[in-house]
Structure 1
Amino acid sequence: MKIKTCLIQDSPVFFDKDKTLDKVEQLTKKYAQQGCELIVFPESFIPGYPRGFSFGATIGSRTDEGRKLYSEFYKNSIDIESDDIKKLEKLSRSEQVYLVIGVTEKQQVNGSLYCSMLYISPSNGLLGVHRKIKPTGTERIVWGEADGESLVTFHTEIGKLGGLICWENLMPLARMAMYKKGVEIYIAPTADSRKEWTATMQHIALEGRCFVLGCNQFFTKSMYPEKYRSLVADQPENMCPGGSVIVSPMGKIIAGPLFGEAGALVAELNLEEIGLSKLDFDVIGHYARNDIFDFNVAKQPEMVKENPTPKR
């Protein structure tokens, strides 16, 4: 089976949820018209990754200005029980494309924010949500951490989907949780634009014998609205040069890495390559050594099987 995929390397309309949703719609329609069946957006694309922000927090104190900024971030984040999700489901259905979108998610029950990845099917709507199990560094000021229930995977008509966000991909046991479910298309939205990140994506592809889709934003300081620029005065103009990349199960780069510009990576994935790659290495099969290692993930759900598209 061959799947045409697209990674969006672009910028949101920062901290403006509604305008960013409109941009998601425009980009989705553009690449769906080119025959793409899976479109991926970067980490916290809605409403934007708050690179360079401190939210007025230091050890032992927080500022009123930082609290107000957090409140604005919260207001522009996604509630999966809201009409925002219905809009994305409608878009997925109308364009007949799978969407995987990095968002900051707000939860009405506990008032917290999570760095999340939405999986949306054209036939089944929202399949589920992966929430970051460990925000990196000072991301922990604004994002909570999820538990094993967030390590979701999905058996869809275009293959078995799963993945992790940004530096979760450096956690060997989190990666193994994905491999154990037999993920074929491993999706890795990120904010890491270092050239070294490409090597991480290649290693995961080789290790998991899966296609790896690493998707990042392209973002410059001048893209911030004027009212935020004083908060990032010490940052370089080219704050996030991108680096999106698509890698085969043998660790070969299929498309990218794309640096220094907005754009998209489009590539066709031949899922038969996964089986071919397992002749000499299979991390959950003949290379597993289950007689030595015992692996368990607390609360990880079973892979969700998508209901097939009704035949017309």
Structure 2
Amino acid sequence: MAPKTIRLGTASPGTQANTAETLTQLEQLARRAASKKVDILLLPEAYIGGYPRGTHFGCVIGSRSQEGRDEYLSYFQSAVDLGDTVGDGAGAGQAWVDRQLPSDMVAGSEGEKDVPNRRGDGTREVLERIALETGVFIVTGLIEKAGGSLYCSVVYVCPKRGIIGKRRKVMPTGTERLIWAQGSPATLRAVSTTIRGIRINLAAAICWENYMPLVRQALYAQNINLYLAPTADGRDTWLSLLRTTAIEGRCFVVSSNMCVRNTPTTSPATNGNTIHPENGTLRDGSPFTHSGTHHRRHSVLDENGNEIVLPCSPPPRTTSRGRTRRQSVFDEDGNEIVLCCGKRQDDKPATTTSAGTTTTTSTPPVTNTTASTNTAAGKESRTPGFVSRGGSVIVGPMGDVLTGPQWEDDSGIIFADVDFEDCIRGRLDLDTAGSYSRNDSFRFEVRGLDLSPLPY
């Protein structure tokens, strides 16, 4: 008897200029995924609302600027309101999922009586409609506002039941803690769905939560067979972590990271607003224009969001033999970035080869195919044309890469057909939450989270 397979999919789209445009893009991706018969689609961390890479909101230790506060206001306004509460960082939990909370509409407002339990800004309803119409189980990252705080969250959207769960990042990474509140570990609860008679227990760990061994163990303990890792990390070390996670948990691992093309991100002309990295518009959707006669500086951003300022139209340097010497700078890893005199830096980005030499090529068109640009040494090459190169990937329960990483492709969808019984086959010799855990000697618990394993 042939095994029943589930088609897992992921993609690397970047956040659009506003929530409406991002949701439109999400719907297009879901419809394309449905045409490819994808059952479950994972989208990146902070995809709806945006990941504020490279920004600091005017903050240093002991001081905050007014411009930074205005920028935070803009970012807060771009976040979505799902109608949940703050609670203890967990929100209202199952009461929110089951729509048992009272309406948050103002008494006497239009539509108040027509939708008695309507809450939030309508984003939840749009996501549920997209899942219903496409038949795709959607898991997406988003920035959620509740009260006066922001949470980096993930929602699980079932085509049949709507949103069946939501979790909030328990440990924002580094300076993310400036703008994102800590979610409760109670939101680490896994959820279940059934597709073609196959039960799938799934849960998400967001970005560097995956470097927290106890977070991973909390998911393994619930008997998950699908581990989701939406992220903003495109480093060469990320894939090794995912492969380790798959082996540890004997589960399928899917990761999604945005592919974002490089443009300058801030300018005094924006009055503290952030220019959207996809298309140069402000976060409120208005176009960005320069004032005055000042020249626009040339710069690139490395993968950590650090800006490398390039000389504007550098004069050619001539050698003693009469040849023009190329202009270049080196990033922190020793990769040479060739500067094109009198042209925009992104007209002809430099590409560093595995041999360490540098060539200048035209920017390739984005296609729906997946192409890895890892060097022979196993380290991904730096491409000045991208703030984030993506790297979405699917890994099997024995640590084998099934498809991806998906580099420099912000429109494609990658997928793999998997047999979830491979998770059980893998537990013959390793079950980190059961026979291999020595529960008689080690005790593990998470406050507010029921770690009872989900059934098969």
Alignment pair present for 1:174 and 2:205: no
Aligned 8 A contact 2:221 2:452 in 1: no
Distance 1:302 1:86, change over 3 A: farther
Name the residue aligned to 1:249: 397
Q: Distance in 1 between matches of 2:151 and 2:428?
A: 39
Distance 1:19 1:227, change over 3 A: closer
Alignment pair present for 1:225 and 2:280: yes
Q: Deviations over 1:191-228 (max 9, x none)?
A: 00011100000000000100000111101223252558
Aligned 8 A contact 1:4 1:267 in 2: yes
**Offset at residue 296 of structure 1 (A):** 0.5
Structure (1 or 2) with the larger CA radius of gyration: 2
Name the residue aligned to 1:293: 442
Name the residue aligned to 1:88: 127
Matched ranges for 1:42-191 at <5 A: 42-81=44-83, 82=120, 83-107=122-146, 110-158=147-195, 159-191=200-232
Structure 1 residue identity aligned to 2:28: Q
Aligned 8 A contact 1:209 1:249 in 2: yes
Aligned 8 A contact 2:42 2:255 in 1: no
Residues paired across the two proteins, number? 303
Aligned 8 A contact 1:155 1:304 in 2: no
Match of 1:261 among 392, 400, 409: 409
Structure 2 residue identity aligned to 1:132: K
Name the residue aligned to 1:6: 9
**Offset at residue 261 of structure 1 (A):** 2.4
Q: Distance in 1 between matches of 2:124 and 2:78?
A: 14
Q: Among all aligned residue pairs of Structure 1 and Structure 2, give the percentage whose two residues are the same amino acid.
A: 36
Structure 1 residue identity aligned to 2:129: K
Q: Distance in 2 between matches of 1:31 and 1:63?
A: 44
Q: Distance in 2 between matches of 1:294 and 1:116?
A: 28
Corresponding residue SS for 1:219: strand
**Offset at residue 177 of structure 1 (A):** 0.4
Q: Distance in 2 between matches of 1:237 and 1:67?
A: 30
Q: Which runs of 5+ in 1 are unaligned?
A: 306-312
Name the residue aligned to 1:37: 39
Q: Which runs of 5+ in 2 are unaligned?
A: 84-119, 264-277, 289-296, 309-383
Q: Distance in 2 between matches of 1:87 and 1:227?
A: 24
Alignment pair present for 1:278 and 2:427: yes
Match of 2:26 among 24, 28, 31: 24
Task: Give the root-mean-square deviation of aligned CA atoms.
Answer: 2.1
**Offset at residue 260 of structure 1 (A):** 2.3
Q: Deviations over 1:175-196 (max 9, x none)?
A: 0000000111100000000111
Q: Distance in 2 between matches of 1:123 and 1:296?
A: 32
Distance 1:280 1:304, change over 3 A: closer
Aligned 8 A contact 2:221 2:453 in 1: no
Name which of structure 1's ranges 131-140 and 277-286 shifts more when overlaid on structure 2.
277-286
Aligned 8 A contact 1:153 1:302 in 2: no
Corresponding residue SS for 1:297: coil
Match of 2:237 among 196, 201, 212: 196
Distance 1:6 1:303, change over 3 A: farther
**Offset at residue 41 of structure 1 (A):** 0.6
Structure 1 residue identity aligned to 2:394: I
Q: Deviations over 1:129-184 (max 9, x none)?
A: 11000000001111000122211211211400102000000000000000000111
Aligned 8 A contact 2:167 2:188 in 1: yes
